[in-house]
Amino acid sequence: MAQGSRITERDRHLGDHETSNIVQSEIEGGVFLPDLPQHTVLEIRTMHRCYTAVLLGQGEALLSGHPEYCPQPVLVEIAGSTWGGSMLKLDFVGRGMHLEFHHPEYETPIVTSRIQEVRECSHANWDTGEQARGEAP
């Protein structure tokens, strides 16, 4: 899913390795979350799991797909994707990268295995998030 491709200009503060990672993320594809409407449902397939994220806006999502962290949809904040180090591509879910999200029950961010595929799914059978945030349906 290549959504809203953005041209990456070389930043003089980044080294060759970091610049190469950024360019590779543009080639492999992914999606910038702010470009998607609320209630978009993404399937994020990593090397070890298949997550479902219902986007609620402003980085929030109902995420499920991990037997320990989110066996049922849980309200999380998606930070973006990383290459496995400290450099984070904010608000981006990209192939070949690792999804990083903040879970309300854990102090440190959770980082998934490498993302293999990102695709948009139908909206069928998904709560819109009002109940997860304590709002009236």
Concatenating the DSSP letter of every residue in 40-105 gives -EEEEEESS-EEEEEEEETTEEEEE-BTTTBSS-EEEEEEEEESSSS-EEETEEETTSEEEEE-TT
Q: Which residue has the higher pLDDT, 29 or 53?
A: 53
User: With 50 as the cut, is the pLDDT of residue 14 above it?
Assistant: no
Instruction: For the chain, give every domain's residue range.
Output: 30-121
pLDDT at 29: 73
Question: In the predicted model, what is the mean pLDDT of residues 116-133?
Answer: 63
pLDDT in tens, 65-118: 999 999 999 999 999 999 877 788 899 999 999 999 999 999 999 999 999 999
Q: Which residue has the higher pLDDT, 24 or 65?
A: 65
- Whole-model pTM? 0.74
